[in-house]
Structure 1
């Protein structure tokens, strides 16, 4: 496939694990033993998604979490169909920052569907007291803004694939998106036939 059908953006403060979510989903890896490196601007990866028997390309933008890149992040979420807004379940300030990004999305990209994601769920396995953001609080908040809420662990892989599959399924519930995906498949098939003819002549 030559183009991205579904644009997804990852938002949240630095250190919440946005890049780890991306790498777990796209490459099925977790590089916890590698020193942390800030994302500068944004990183991009794409992966084929499958929903309702149709395949399409999901493009994922991993934005920088540092506040000094805040204005730049707006460039990357422009036109996004889905936003994964992350916070660390053991870090209260990251929750406040997540709410900031949701406010931004509602202001500039009203049609973007929001997925509120609590990261680093594995840290609660040994000590549930590490939870810094009350689960009921997040659930009520996500219900109030009509956002999907899920907790994940990139280290164990828990709920990461499920998160992206939910995004893909939600995208394909829109008949207009189904039509666009079908048109892309037809165009790609036509281009391939044209290439074969050119090569054989």
Structure 2
């Protein structure tokens, strides 16, 4: 079954150097699965095909500002990200520093900085409950979402769960994601298969986008 381009969007979660470039602290944890899945290459293929076929593309980025590091409590994952200064920016009114860990991976910029991609406000923990992604999707009359990006077992899964609860039909391009280790990735795959409307390979998604 082909996707309906008027109602379907590709949502890219955390397409940033932090997870996808060797400078990133997150990349150091996820690099083996990123390489095994050809995650970057698969994400590029999906973005290229989505743009060529006039699908809307959204980004749900992750940023932390100085005041975020003063939070008084958090999960173990939050503490780890704060200690590593992951996704660090100078402030909400400052532009993202070029080639910083918070910046979008260069290979994605032709697709995500084209003036047409919709960039949501930053999510602050793992899911879209803390940003305006759902509002942006609703305002474009999107009801079907294809999720790609990082990390499979944390932010991708959190986005999937919330979007499903919000009434969206959600698909995962499972090899256009990666996780910090094979065990974490396999755990995410189990939940993708149970909770999404389809856990598909990049090739399967490409066929349905065209």
TM-score, scaled relative to structure 2: 0.42
| Larger Rg computed on CA atoms | 1
Q: Which structure carries more relative contact order (alpha carbon 8 Å, separation 6+)? A: 2
TM-score, length of structure 1 as denominator length: 0.44
Structure in which a larger fraction of residues adopt strand: 1
